[in-house]
Copies of this chain bind each other. A is one copy, B any other.
């Protein structure tokens, strides 16, 4: 089995209200030195062995474009795990 890990986050410059809230919460819990927090989604996708390495990455990129991320406001980073790398 092959595993793809996808990290999706808001592009730089866009307001991240959830991140600001978490930053405030961390500060009120006494954590010092936090400059910024940005929140996004994390997905682990298990795929059949049948995909070859380059086509696997392309396929996951297509998934991101079509469903998982909004490429207008979000950026994503794909990591192929273990034997999928």
Interface residues of chain A, those whose CB is within 8 Å of chain B, are 1, 5, 7-9, 19, 22, 25-26, 29, 31-48, 50-51, 59, 62-63, 66-68
Chain B residues in 8 Å Cβ range of A50 = 33
A47 to chain B, nearest CB (A): 5
Given A5-B7, A35-B1, are A43 and B29 neighbors across the interface (CB < 8 Å)? no
Selected contact of A67 from candidates B5, B22, B59, B67, CB within 8 Å = B22
The 10 closest A-B pairs by CB, nearest first: A33-B48, A42-B42, A40-B42, A35-B46, A36-B46, A38-B44, A7-B42, A33-B47, A37-B45, A39-B43
Selected contact of A38 from candidates B8, B38, B43, B59, CB within 8 Å = B43
